[in-house]
Structure 1
Amino acid sequence: MGDDANRAADPARPAGLARGTRVLITVAAAVVVFVGIWFARELLVPVAVAAVVVIIAHPVRRPLERRGWPSWLATTVVIAVGYAILAVLGLLLVVASAQFIAILPDYADELQSTAQGVVDWLQSLGFSSEAAATAAGAIDPEQLLSFAAGVADAVLGAATAFFFVLAYVLFMAADASRFSRGTSVFGGARADAIGSRYFSGVRRYYVVNASFGAIVAVLDGLLLWALGIPVPITWAILAFVTNFIPNIGFVIGLIPPAVLALVIGGWPLALAVVLAYSAINVVLQEFVQPKFVSDAVGLSLTLTFFSVVFWTLVLGPMGALLCIPLTLLVRAVLLEPDPTTGSLRHLTGDPRAP
């Protein structure tokens, strides 16, 4: 009775729960949802990968159908393009993993010597022996061999999930054909516009990143070959893959060849690798590439970095590669349809926010 009397006395007071209560309930619901996604990540990651592949390959359908190709044949071509993308990525990962595992035993002694040298240097700077040993453990041969075994297990697990990705691509491509023949995909002009922007943004993001990633990979591979770093193809593939990880991908791709350069050539060679890598990647990834993807993505730098950390925590390593389309999907589903969320969209970096 008291709440009803107060609401009647103040007509401007909104009905229902207080804003703070609604926010807490929304946050609690989001936590429950993402915990559920974490538990189901082995099921959901292949779905997400297949969806991205179909989004990238789907535009192949339009010119074929305009030329009079039957729908089933255009769908077959889309599926073939999707399978080709997956086959190339799978081949790159297998080659890189095999070469990485093969070279570790050949450099075990050098790695051990370098690790001991790092320990001695850190102790001379005043670090305790435990702290120095922990810091040098990153290049300890046993740690790297254990990591190599983990890489082999991950590749085997990816091969197992690959079957499900192929099946999802097949079914999603067929569904996309059916949806493309309808007058409205999402039930309204506004929703269709949001979906169209999302699909085109994801497609452009991956196509542009793949193009620049290939350029970076070739330049990095040639650089490492010229400097005499072993298995430059492996590190070129790593540079290509990590180009899809925003902000920190360059650092992840730099560490292994820099450590190997330190092992075989000492600090001067490692410094040369770091400087040359930085020159190539900073120019392309920080100055040129953003001009092509900023309009398609429209995410602030802070949110982009947070999305890498968050989706990696939720989905594992594949979350780092899928973080941008997943973050854009959350914004497209939760924020863009609501006209009252303009301020939140603006904070995310959306250039179309009112």
Structure 2
Amino acid sequence: MDAVNLRNYFFYLACIVIIIAGLKVASEIVVILFLAIFISSIFSTLLRFLESKHIPRLFSYLLVIGLFVLISLLLAYIVNISLKDFISNLPQYEKQLQSVVVNIVALGESYGFKIDKNMVLEALNFKSFFGITTDLIGSIGTFLSKFLLIVIGVAFILAESKSFEKKTRAIFKQNSEELEHFKLFSHNIQKYFLVKSTTSFLTGAIITIGLIFFDIDYPILWGVIAMLFNFVPVVGSIIAAIPAVLLSLVNVDLNTTIILIIFYVAINISISNIIEPKLMGKELGLSPLVIFFSLILWGWVLGIVGMFLAVPITMTLKIAFSSNTSTQWLAVLMSDIKTRKVSSRK
């Protein structure tokens, strides 16, 4: 590696650090912008579908915006009402959970194990855990409080979608290769969010029905949480399952809790590992390691919403790197090698 290239790489690294620091400082504005862009990418597909059925563009536009507002208000109402009731009952749940732990410790002592009950209760620290749970749900509520700005952003982006296509063709009219890369990027983003939204809704609906069957408190709230956290790969489904599993342990029995855990695992494996890959195909092509560290990075930069947007943002960077010969090596590092082999055979 010569001195010029080394200097260039350090320059690029410094630029990346400055950009990330800027995003961190302006995270409140950036979150609204990113959410508006990605939500628009989902509903633009519905808008084009309605227009293809010869429905007037203005009517299609109003219908799509109305649907987005209705879904958002419904989610906000369900989360707000259920969360208030859940927080009011938290002290009772904490006492019941401590009682369950005491019974488990007593059972262990009956078999000859020496266990310090106070040390176990202090180590588990239920107040801190429930505090983390309510903070996570509260972060979703904070996101919903910015609802008006997001709606305005989505409305303007959808209104500009038709003219934006003409603008991109005008920009790349002398470079068809870059236009193809941009179309690929748009297609992958739309496909990812469309498939992920569908599978997330399916996950939330099935879990809600299952929790009603198991007689767990607040089934709709935990179904909505499961739907939202399905956008967070690797750890999202685990975080979404914990509150419902603990409530099952408190209010029902151990056998039902074990069956509920198996139910959660079966739903998440079947949807995340079977249905989603078949619907998405191999376009995502991100290494699991890259996905994991992108969750940490974007979660730190943009907060809880950054974890939801970690994969699409990282995929955007990968496609941008692959479009330039000097940065294709970065795209290779971010890729899943198995995916690249499959695509090369095709």
Tell me, yes or no, if structure 1 residue 194 matches structure 2 residue 161.
no
* CA-CA distance at 1:294 after TM superposition: 4.1
Which residue of 2 is the match for residue 271 of structure 1?
258
Q: Which deviates more from structure 2 when the two are superposed, residues 337-346 or residues 194-203?
A: 337-346
* CA-CA distance at 1:311 after TM superposition: 0.8
Tell me, yes or no, if structure 1 residue 23 matches structure 2 residue 13.
no
Amino acid at match of 1:256: P
Aligned match for 1:322, one of 300, 309, 329: 309
Tell me, yes or no, if structure 1 residue 296 matches structure 2 residue 287.
no
Which residue of 2 is the match for residue 6 of structure 1?
none
Q: Percent identity?
A: 22
Gap runs ≥5 in structure 2:
none
Which residue of 1 is the match for residue 209 of structure 2?
222
Tell me, yes or no, if structure 1 residue 51 matches structure 2 residue 22.
no
Deviations 1:303-345 (A, max 9, x none): 1122112111110000111111111222233x13312333322
**Alignment CA distance shift 1:342-1:98 (3 Å):** same
* CA-CA distance at 1:27 after TM superposition: 1.7
CA RMSD of aligned residues (A): 3.3
**Alignment CA distance shift 1:331-1:173 (3 Å):** same
Given the two structures, how large is their TM-score scaled by the length of structure 2? 0.82
1:156-195 correspondence runs (5 A)? 157-182=142-167, 184=169, 186-187=171-172, 188-195=175-182
Deviations 1:251-270 (A, max 9, x none): 11111111112222343332
Distance 2:318 2:275 in 1: 26
Distance 2:255 2:45 in 1: 48
Which residue of 1 is the match for residue 272 of structure 2?
285
Distance 1:215 1:70 in 2: 30
Give yes or no for contact 2:41–2:193 (8 Å, CA) kept in 1: no
1:182-261 correspondence runs (5 A)? 182=167, 184=169, 186-187=171-172, 188-261=175-248
Distance 2:108 2:314 in 1: 41
Distance 1:246 1:205 in 2: 13
**Alignment CA distance shift 1:349-1:147 (3 Å):** closer
Distance 1:186 1:135 in 2: 60
Amino acid at match of 2:283: A
Computing the radius of gyration over CA atoms, which structure comes out larger, 1 or 2? 1
Amino acid at match of 1:135: A
Aligned match for 1:38, one of 13, 24, 48: 24
Aligned match for 1:83, one of 54, 69, 78: 69
Amino acid at match of 1:211: T
* CA-CA distance at 1:126 after TM superposition: 7.2
**Alignment CA distance shift 1:69-1:266 (3 Å):** closer
* CA-CA distance at 1:121 after TM superposition: 8.3
* CA-CA distance at 1:296 after TM superposition: 3.5
Give yes or no for contact 1:55–1:203 (8 Å, CA) kept in 2: yes
Give yes or no for contact 2:199–2:276 (8 Å, CA) kept in 1: yes
Distance 1:153 1:147 in 2: 10
Which residue of 2 is the match for residue 312 of structure 1?
299
Deviations 1:105-144 (A, max 9, x none): 553431342355577789997787886345311x33x763
Q: Secondary structure at the match of 2:234?
A: coil
Q: Secondary structure at the match of 1:246?
A: coil
Deviations 1:163-208 (A, max 9, x none): 2112211222232232134461653423322222222212221221
Q: Secondary structure at the match of 1:18?
A: helix
**Alignment CA distance shift 1:183-1:215 (3 Å):** closer
Distance 2:287 2:78 in 1: 31
